[in-house]
Structure 1
């Protein structure tokens, strides 16, 4: 799991992308990004999430987003990123979805 806190913007998006890549390089194929501590997200952060999503998907894995605050959820919805990457109300729900026995419904 990748936990994120603070603003996700041009200054912090490279760190997010590096964290996702580190998880992938370490062999993780089921990644949950905990967004509960994020109060702002810009397009560079969306790009980092999409890059991570595609990288893990290309290896047969899945990336899910968990517990976004309302403003972040709105950004994901407006940009339709939530149609490609599953968004869940809690980390537990996202983890259940990425587990081998998990379903495909969003939270």
Structure 2
């Protein structure tokens, strides 16, 4: 997992599986980013091949926390297996999904 400032926001790049053993790290990193004052956050999931409900929950909490602060969260590079989880749970109807980080940044700028 890495975090970098890019454009008008922060990109959190994740590689590997998001499951019960790795999600606490994601949850903590997103909390740090949000509490650090970042209002535009893109989570780059291009390197994630599997995500369970704990990973989904961490993303939803980050989305809620950002919304409470008038912020924005987008997901980029979402693979088919992860996209299926987001679709089944209808999270894709709430959190924007973009092909690339750049596409997500453009959407954030337009909103």
* Match 1:56 to one of 66, 86, 97: 66
RMSD between aligned alpha carbons? 0.8
CA drift at 1:97: 1.0
Counting only pairs closer than 5 Å after superposition, residues 1-107 of structure 1 correspond to structure 2 as 1-99=11-109, 102-103=110-111
- 2:3 counterpart residue number: none
Deviations 1:49-106 (A, max 9, x none): 000000011000010000111111111111111011001111110111112xx25xxx
Q: Gaps spanning 5+ residues in structure 1: where?
A: none
Give the total of aligned pairs.
101
* d(CA) in 1 for partners of 2:17, 2:36: 26
- TM-score with structure 2 setting the length: 0.88
* d(CA) in 1 for partners of 2:25, 2:94: 22
- TM-score with structure 1 setting the length: 0.91
